[in-house]
Structure 1
């Protein structure tokens, strides 16, 4: 279901919670009243509006970066996978996120809060309208009414989950709370039980699949995967695991699905997609339904897509793809020894004559995740290095791959004149994520054999990636092998966590994983010491327990008139 915004749907999405009584006792022209939308069609339109916030955007294109469904700012720049990029003075409030010194007036947290609570409001309005319509004579079938309720509650759970990960202490407002009372709701109650209840209802009432005309709607499989994820975040491994195994059983084996298809705009909504933010270029060529959250990740200078130079992979991420002679990751952190730096730090003839070192042993997923000098980048040609980067001395020599599209489809899958706005979907949950969450559950239950099997399937798939070629040679000594065994639970835990980084890098999971594993402080401070030795802007990052989540926007505290309490 490629989403469609319209003035009518935006009105439907807000009218029930925003219109006061008796405004001159007239209906303003061009505005809908409740009687006009209290129909089955009105419910369906309202539900479409609720889906509309999955891409983190209310309208327009600029300014939705922190609410991106990819969560690149909080989930990756806030961790050890990526830098904000661009230069130090551009979007300075993003620097606060990267350096873990976020103020209560940071506009990125305000945008995140506003967009996702708008999503919650649209879900609640859908549920209110559904109840009103079903109480009348012209109503949806009972079966469809259950599906609509399940879709709306699934979406509400999604919006609340994203808010919970960022802010932790948030107010919970459902369809039974009036607009007046909503302002009085505190943020002192844990919201996970309500998120879980919504997803349990979705599991019980959504269809396993949808037909081609409804691609993108939440399904039973998506609800099972999402419920499992919410349980995993609460360390309820025994409850989460059966949900994950059910999802795995409902899809083809992971090694039969090409890794690169997840980031190919012509192969979207394939068997690996569990739930994705659906993006499209508007019929009029506009981009507000497109992937506006990732638009700053366009490149710079002579790049075919030149704007705006943000979101650059870190040295630490790139080097984590190095493998030992046995084709396995360097779980002990030795990948930081004598690190690969591309042409960073070279000058003069050495810089000009640089050629990529094809003898380094890398996991092939590196070159499908990161663009580096001397290696073909999608179908754009060989990545030239600094010519595509705004300030290499500030954020390094690398660019991201997963959020861009091939040049061959740029004319149809990007906004004319703004090719950094693409129609590429963003996978919020994909099958590999489910495999690795299931593996994590097995590790915590000390079933190391089952965890090993799932991790090895992910690695087997990675080994099938076509090598990037430099002339007649491979761009690296690509090597990815399977684990023979896990010696103990600690090694298994480390291996599963490392595999999540390699497989899901730059997809918005990393910071939240580090926090829920309880290793954010040690990981980020160790990363700062390494990364800062190369890029001084990131040296001496201090991470405190309060940095595991972000401050409630001060504007929201003020509006609540004392109901909301600031995070510690």
Structure 2
């Protein structure tokens, strides 16, 4: 997709299916008529535009944080994995997301809503013009195979944008190419529509990337996405079949290095199933096609290779979740919070000066791929120095994020012109490790505990191969990760699978949505607030209500709909 992402990206925002009162309308940067676009090139260009919104950006670079494909704000900061970080006064509306107290005027909500519906509109435009072309209203038609393939790509993309919307807002209108330009109420469950689009994609996409271009949606992407959505609907047997089909078609996970998922030079490898492609330095737009959603999420301080802007800091609770027992297994009973590891947090200035890493702590090695901690090497940047890499320790704690960063040696070629905080690092929406664990979850819920054990242990066996971080040639911790000997019952297996998802996928945008679909958001987050609130006053005493499993619709969208849209329940 890096080869096609920029083509027509801003040119092909159409107005022909819009009306002035349409609450989904955005001002186009340029316009072509429907007649001009009813050609094969026009349809292909429209489809590229539909792909273009995957990075959450319409134009510019700043301000796309809520729509980031990594979903770091709604998927991680809203959970027990991450703090907003930075300082209290910077992006204050994000504080409300972390504390589950947003109002309908929160700009992060509008950001996600607008970008996703712009993506929906581009998909609908593609489908409408394609139908016109194939019915003889324009130039020469596509061959039937390519026409079906385009429909599959566009409908999978549309399903993606709606999936992002429904997870955050719960109640959203479902607008298609047939209903665009009218006000559509948000009074129906749209998951059946999402599933229908994905089923079409599965049936009409092949296992070969369309046009042989990286980043395009293929059958594996469609199977994986449909499996994920069906899992959210607790249709475990159907999801299991789809996820297993992807697993069987891909290499053994244990042979694929974990670190390749977060290496800009190893992108689009066999673990990448549904990918948002990012490109910098080639489009003349100053990085607009780069990873603009994550551009705030680097260590803060002039001593760091990328100095912006101190957001998205792992929690103390997450760091301690990587502890293991003597057998190399996670502490599933929550005892990882006993005698918590705090790095240098809370120490006096003198104590911080004399701080040394405790190399005897027993950790899963994935901690170093996820969390930058003081005294331990951070990528090729050198030793993470603690406070000098953090904007405000009292707001975000002692840790920094790793997965969204890149090597210092890659900055020259892998960042936007004059903007080192806009990288070309792709975002994996669904990767093979995720699929293994979703399949393991389905196995538990359908009574196949031996298969669940095999899948979870494959994820752990791969983790055991991670090269340990070292300090002067000595491992920075007592790293150990071992396979489970057995899953004695479904409750134990369920707990193990869910804990493994946290460890494997931490800081990748899944956690809050997992807690909600498991029905444990209230108990998990309130327990977390009770623990993390010992160190951050702004989390003390927070209570999760039913409404907090989703977020309010943007008020401006309700106003523009003249009352057609209704606010999300509880707001």
TM-aligned CA deviation for residue 16 of structure 1: 2.8
| 1:501 to 1:88, Cα distance in 2 relative to 1, 3 A | same
Residue 202 in 1 paired to residue 201 in 2?
yes
CA contact 1:3–1:52 (8 Å) conserved in 2: no
In structure 2, distance between residues paired with 1:348 and 1:8:
55
In structure 1, distance between residues paired with 2:476 and 2:389:
19
CA contact 2:5–2:51 (8 Å) conserved in 1: no
1:293 match = 293
2:25 match = none
Q: Secondary structure at the match of 2:14?
A: helix
| 1:462 to 1:315, Cα distance in 2 relative to 1, 3 A | same
TM-aligned CA deviation for residue 246 of structure 1: 0.2
1:267 match = 266
Q: Secondary structure at the match of 1:229?
A: helix
In structure 2, distance between residues paired with 1:199 and 1:259:
28
1:507 match = 508
In structure 2, distance between residues paired with 1:128 and 1:298:
41
Q: Deviations over 1:474-520 (max 9, x none)?
A: 00000000000012111100000000000000000000000000000
Residue 52 in 1 paired to residue 56 in 2?
no
1:421 match = 422
Instruction: After TM superposition, list the pairs within 5 Å mapping 1:183-198 onto structure 2.
Output: 183=183, 185-198=184-197
In structure 1, distance between residues paired with 2:532 and 2:94:
18
In structure 2, distance between residues paired with 1:212 and 1:251:
21
1:356 match = 357
Q: Secondary structure at the match of 2:12?
A: helix
Q: Secondary structure at the match of 1:381?
A: coil
Q: Secondary structure at the match of 1:261?
A: helix
Q: Secondary structure at the match of 1:146?
A: helix
Q: Deviations over 1:228-251 (max 9, x none)?
A: 111000000011100010000010
In structure 2, distance between residues paired with 1:111 and 1:373:
34
TM-aligned CA deviation for residue 19 of structure 1: 7.4
In structure 2, distance between residues paired with 1:285 and 1:232:
39
Q: Secondary structure at the match of 1:44?
A: helix
In structure 2, distance between residues paired with 1:562 and 1:101:
24
Residue 523 in 1 paired to residue 524 in 2?
yes
Runs (5+) with no aligned partner, structure 2: 21-27
1:221 match = 220
Q: Which moved more, 1:2-11 or 1:44-53?
A: 2-11
Instruction: After TM superposition, list the pairs within 5 Å mapping 1:166-565 onto structure 2.
Output: 166-179=168-181, 181=182, 183=183, 185-210=184-209, 213-283=212-282, 284=284, 286-301=286-301, 302-565=303-566
Q: Deviations over 1:444-467 (max 9, x none)?
A: 112111100000000000000000
CA contact 2:387–2:393 (8 Å) conserved in 1: yes
Q: Secondary structure at the match of 1:466?
A: coil
CA contact 2:6–2:52 (8 Å) conserved in 1: no
Structure with the largest fraction of helix: 1
Q: Secondary structure at the match of 2:234?
A: coil
Runs (5+) with no aligned partner, structure 1: 21-27
CA contact 2:171–2:568 (8 Å) conserved in 1: yes
TM-score, structure 1 as length reference: 0.96
TM-aligned CA deviation for residue 29 of structure 1: 13
CA contact 1:282–1:288 (8 Å) conserved in 2: no
Q: Secondary structure at the match of 1:246?
A: helix
In structure 2, distance between residues paired with 1:55 and 1:501:
24
TM-aligned CA deviation for residue 139 of structure 1: 1.3
In structure 1, distance between residues paired with 2:400 and 2:85:
9
In structure 2, distance between residues paired with 1:19 and 1:92:
34
In structure 2, distance between residues paired with 1:203 and 1:333:
40
In structure 2, distance between residues paired with 1:212 and 1:37:
20
TM-aligned CA deviation for residue 539 of structure 1: 1.5
Q: Secondary structure at the match of 2:359?
A: coil
In structure 2, distance between residues paired with 1:335 and 1:526:
13
CA contact 1:87–1:390 (8 Å) conserved in 2: yes
2:84 match = 84
Q: Secondary structure at the match of 1:245?
A: helix
TM-aligned CA deviation for residue 213 of structure 1: 4.5
In structure 1, distance between residues paired with 2:133 and 2:477:
61
TM-aligned CA deviation for residue 277 of structure 1: 0.5
CA contact 2:227–2:239 (8 Å) conserved in 1: yes
| 1:211 to 1:173, Cα distance in 2 relative to 1, 3 A | closer
TM-aligned CA deviation for residue 144 of structure 1: 0.5
CA contact 1:3–1:289 (8 Å) conserved in 2: no
In structure 1, distance between residues paired with 2:73 and 2:457:
30
User: Aligned residues, how many?
Assistant: 558
Give the superposed CA RMSD: 1.6
1:155 match = 157
Q: Deviations over 1:185-211 (max 9, x none)?
A: 100111011100100000011110227
| 1:30 to 1:153, Cα distance in 2 relative to 1, 3 A | closer
TM-aligned CA deviation for residue 176 of structure 1: 0.7
